[in-house]
Amino acid sequence: MSVPGLHYALVKAPAGVVVMGQVNARPQSDEGPATRVTLTQSFWIGVTEVTVAQWSYFTAATGYLTEAERGGVGLHVLNDKAGPLRPGLSWRNPGFFQDDTHPVVGISFQDALQFCRWLTEREQTAGRLPVGHSYTLPTEAQWEHACRAGSDKEPASIQDYYWPKPNLPTHPVAGRKPNAWGIYDLYGYPLEWNFDWYARYPGVDVTDYAGPPSANDRNIIRPHHEMRGQESSTNRWSTTGDTQNDWVGLRLVLAVPPKPTPPPAPPASTKK
């Protein structure tokens, strides 16, 4: 399906089971414990990340200014993640060349949600949304399910799916190999916002997992390729939701809105 006017294509991901925190043979401490998630509903997910052209369409329609643009606050840049914001940088000028075909970057979590709200309201008004569905960000479970195309393994030649140098600026979307479901650019830069708050996985079987109700950080997910020597769909990165970076963009899903998952109840005491 394609969103009219925006020309944003999505493919349907079936319901199924995804095991989070287990695929990577050398997981980081925050990639576990292994958690089996049953996704009870199918969802639509973007074939690519949102592009500069698509974000420009949104801002032209709404007059929206990103958090980086307001007052010229600026962006954090990839090679200086811990450094101060660079004033004047934004999605319009992230500090390197982009054209309309590149994935938009410099988007905060709140910016991404505003885009989702606008698109949902527009499509609801036009009568083009399935009942109960909204445009939103993928949960971690949805993202991993889509990244591995329902498999419990990574692709055999994972290098075919991303541009190999993480310190380079962005490239046009869909320039590498799609996965088995026809989805591009899930590995590599830029990173993508997820819906969930950042937390350790529960380590028990859960249904429609969407992270805890609250935490200190929002979650971004991507493989940390060439930084750890191992590429994996399980790699995670966290930051606060008001952070804007020249290495973070977004991908949309059309789904029943996710609900945060309460932590599992502690085991019942056996003491008498």
Tens digits of residue pLDDT in 100-118 = 999 999 999 999 999 999 9
- Please report which confidence band the pLDDT of residue 228 belongs to, taking 50, 70 and 90 as the band edges: very low
Helix (H) or strand (E) holding 83: none
pLDDT for position 238: 83
- Report yes or no on 262 lying in a domain: no
Q: What sign does the CA torsion over 199, 26, 183, 239 have?
A: positive
C-beta of residue 162 within 8 angstroms of C-beta of residue 188: yes
- Report yes or no on 172 lying in a domain: yes
- Assessment of whether the complete model's pTM goes beyond 0.85: yes
Amino acid at site 85? L
Per-residue tokens: 263: 């932590």
Above 60 in pLDDT, residue 271? no
Q: What is the CATH number of the domain that holds 93?
A: 3.90.1580.10
Per-residue tokens: 89: 């940088």
Above 50 in pLDDT, residue 270? no
Question: In DSSP terms, which residues pair with 19 in a beta bridge?
Answer: 36
- Report yes or no on 106 lying in a domain: yes
β-pairing, 134-136 with 253-255? antiparallel
- Report yes or no on 129 lying in a domain: yes
- Report yes or no on 267 lying in a domain: no
- Report yes or no on 270 lying in a domain: no
What is the average per-residue pLDDT within 84-97?
94
- List pLDDT tens digits, range 124-161: 999 999 999 999 999 999 999 999 999 988 888 888 88
Which of 172-176, 228-232, 238-242 ranks highest by mean pLDDT? Answer: 172-176
β-pairing, 35-39 with 206-207? parallel
pLDDT for position 272: 44
In terms of residue numbers, what domain contains 75? 2-255
Domain count for the chain, please give it: 1
